Amino acid sequence: MTVRFGLLGAGRIGKVHAKAVSSNPAARLVAVADAFEKAATDLATAYGCEVRSIEQILASADIDAVVICTPTDTHADLIEQFSKAGKAIFCEKPIDLDVERVKSCLKVVDGSGGTLMVGFNRRFDPHFMAVKAVIDKGEIGAVEMVQITSRDPGAPPVDYIKRSGGIFRDMTIHDFDMARFLLGEEIDTVSAYASNLVDKAIGEAGDFDSVSVILTTASGKHATISNSRRATYGYDQRIEVHGSKGAVSAENQRPVSIEVANASGYTRPPLHDFFMTRYTEAYAREISTFIDAVESKSPASPSGLDGLIALALAEAALKSATENRVVKVSEITGALADKTVFQGR
C-alpha cells in the first residue's frame, strides 16, 4: 500500500515534509495547498504533485493523509475537519496555543477514531533514539535525572516571536516533550526562570530569550532544561540521562568533523547552523513512523495527548516564571492527567 498525501502549507517546514514524503517509497505526495499561490505552485513543480485548495484536499478520495504545516492558529480547526473527513493527520506542533482549545480538538479526534500524530521531530533523531534504546534496554538502570541543553544559533524575527506563543510554547516545548519521553514518568511540578539576555526587542515583545527549568515527578526524578536564543557556535542540542547504573548522552552534531591544529590549539568547525540540517534524518524517520501508523491503522506516537501535555508544561513554565513560584502541572491539566497512558514503557 502507498499512503497518498496532501500537504497543507508550503512554507519552510512544509518543504521539509514534502521532501520527506517524496523520498519515502511507501508514500506519494498527491497535492499541496497554500494560501500563497506561488509557494504552492513552486513546491508542486519541484515534487511533481498537484496544487489543490484545502477544501479540495478535504474532499479528495485519492488522499489518505495530510501533513498540516499551516499557521498555528489554523491547526485545531483543520485537525477537526480532516479528522471528521476520515483522513490520517500529521500536525506540526503545537495543536494550538490554548490548552482548552487543544482539549476540545482532541475530543473531536477521539470521536472520529482517526490517526493523529504531532510533530515532535527530536524523538526521531537517530542519536536521541539511540539514547532511548539504551534506556529501554535497561543499560543505565532506572532513569533518575535528565539534563537537556537546547540553544538556537540566533533569535527569530520579533514578528515571529509575537505570534509564537512565547519561548516556552515555541522552543522549550520540544524539551518538555523530550524530558517526559526520557524520564518515562509524568511531570509533577515545574520551576522556571526566564530572562532577557540576548535581545531587548524580545523582552519588549513580551517574551524571554534565556530559560532555565527544573521539572520533577511524583517519584522524585528530575530534569533540567537550559535554553537560549543565542549560540554563536551553532545549533546546540544535547541530552544526558543519568540512571541507577550509569549514564547515556548524545553529543552535538556538526556538518563536517575535521580538526585543525596549530599554535592556537585544536579547532573543530561549528555545529549545524539550523534545525533543518541538524534534524534532516529525524524528519525522514518521523514521516516514516507516521506512514507505518497509517498503514497499520495503529495509534500514532507522539499523540495528540503528548502534544497537549507538552503544551500544558509550557503553560506551567510560563506561570512559574512570571509568578516566581513552583507550579503544579495539575493546576493546568486539571482532570486530564488520569487519561495519560505511557505505552510501551
Residue 30 or residue 99: which is nearer to a second copy going by CB?
A: 30
Residue 84 or residue 238: which is nearer to a second copy going by CB?
A: 238
Torsions phi, psi of 13, nearest 5? -75, -25
Residue closest to 27 by CA, chosen among 236, 322, 237, 290: 290
Residue 212 or residue 289: which is nearer to a second copy going by CB?
A: 212
Q: Spell out the residues 6+ positions from residue 165 whose beta carbon is closer than 8 angstroms to its own.
A: 72, 94, 97, 314
Nearest distance from C-beta of residue 201 to a second copy, angstroms: 15
Nearest distance from C-beta of residue 18 to a second copy, angstroms: 13
Nearest distance from C-beta of residue 336 to a second copy, angstroms: 22
In angstroms, the CA 225 to CA 211 distance is 8
Nearest distance from C-beta of residue 300 to a second copy, angstroms: 24
Nearest distance from C-beta of residue 137 to a second copy, angstroms: 10
Q: In what order do the strands lie in the sheet with 65-68?
A: 50-51, 27-33, 3-8, 65-68, 88-92, 116-119
CB 154 within 8 A of CB 234: no
In angstroms, the CA 176 to CA 123 distance is 12
**Max Cα separation, the chain?**
67
Q: How far is CA 108 from the centre of its chain?
A: 22
Residue 107 or residue 345: which is nearer to a second copy going by CB?
A: 345
Residue 162 or residue 268: which is nearer to a second copy going by CB?
A: 268
Nearest distance from C-beta of residue 253 to a second copy, angstroms: 7
In angstroms, the CA 167 to CA 161 distance is 8
In angstroms, the CA 82 to CA 79 distance is 5
Grid coordinates representing 285? 524517520
Residue 52 or residue 242: which is nearer to a second copy going by CB?
A: 242
Residue 82 or residue 128: which is nearer to a second copy going by CB?
A: 128
Nearest distance from C-beta of residue 325 to a second copy, angstroms: 6
Nearest distance from C-beta of residue 217 to a second copy, angstroms: 9
In the complex, which residues of this chain contact a second copy (CB under 8 A)? 23, 126-127, 129-131, 134, 139-140, 144-145, 147, 149, 151, 189, 191, 193, 195-198, 210, 212-214, 216, 220-224, 226, 228, 230-233, 242, 244-251, 253, 255-270, 324-326
Backbone angle region of 152, left / alpha / beta, with phi > 0 → left and psi within -120 to 50 → alpha? beta
Residue 76 or residue 146: which is nearer to a second copy going by CB?
A: 146
Residue closest to 316 by CA, chosen among 292, 285, 291, 337: 337
